């Protein structure tokens, strides 16, 4: 697992040991960032269910102003801290130990891009997706990584499913406010 491009390009990142964390494949990560490439510069990015932190780190490497890393696992947060340090992004990273659903329900922060990639088939994606729209700035996005057999709603909290992309058994679904709102 590595940073694909930007200021930390090529840096190798650690992943927590065990089956609790399922890092986003480099090909999927590269596709996600190709989709949102023109919206990264200066954005505030939320890497929910952070795991290794690779998505938020990739956003910072590509010019995001700040990235928030949320995870309830101590092991994952230690890995995120090490990876942020490897890339020199300590001043741009906000790392929080929290249940993501509780964080989304209680935060007053607003994000340009929210990335949701919880453990599959646990119901956490649906709960987080229900709460995420209240945390997204106008013209922002919610990006969900999920298995192809996990159906997501067309509309959630005023955000509409804009497009879905399939990568083998993985789907990336992008939500945004409908045009004209």
pLDDT value at residue 159? 95
pLDDT digits (tens, 9 = 90+) for 120-143: 889 999 999 999 999 999 889 999
pLDDT digits (tens, 9 = 90+) for 77-97: 999 999 999 999 999 999 999
What is the average per-residue pLDDT within 154-175? Answer: 94
Domains and CATH numbers, the chain: 26-176 (3.40.50.150)
Q: pTM score, two decimals?
A: 0.93
Looking at beta carbons, which pairs linking 19-25 to residues 24 or more positions away fall under 8 Å? 20/73, 20/75, 20/76, 20/119, 21/51, 21/52, 21/73, 21/76, 22/51, 22/119, 22/120, 23/51, 23/52, 23/54, 24/54, 24/55, 24/117, 24/145, 25/167, 25/170
């Amino acid at each position: 697992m590595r940073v694909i491009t930007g200021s930390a390009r090529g840096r190798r990142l650690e992943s927590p040991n065990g089956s609790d964390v399922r890092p986003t494949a480099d090909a999927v990560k590269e596709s996600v960032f190709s989709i949102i490439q023109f919206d990264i510069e200066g954005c505030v990015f939320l890497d929910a269910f952070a795991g290794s932190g690779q998505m938020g780190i990739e956003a910072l490497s590509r010019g995001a102003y700040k990235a928030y890393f949320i995870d309830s696992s101590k092991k994952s947060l230690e890995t995120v801290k090490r990876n942020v340090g490897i890339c020199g992004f300590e001043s741009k990273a906000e790392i929080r130990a929290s249940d993501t659903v509780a964080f989304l329900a209680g935060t007053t922060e607003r994000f340009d891009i929210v990335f949701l990639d919880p453990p599959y088939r646990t119901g956490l994606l649906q709960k987080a997706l229900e709460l995420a729209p209240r945390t997204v700035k106008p013209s922002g996005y919610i990006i969900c990584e999920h298995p192809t057999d996990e159906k997501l709603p067309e509309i959630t909290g005023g955000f509409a499913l804009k497009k879905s992309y399939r990568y083998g058994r993985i789907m990336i679904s992008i939500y945004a406010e409908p045009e004209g709102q």
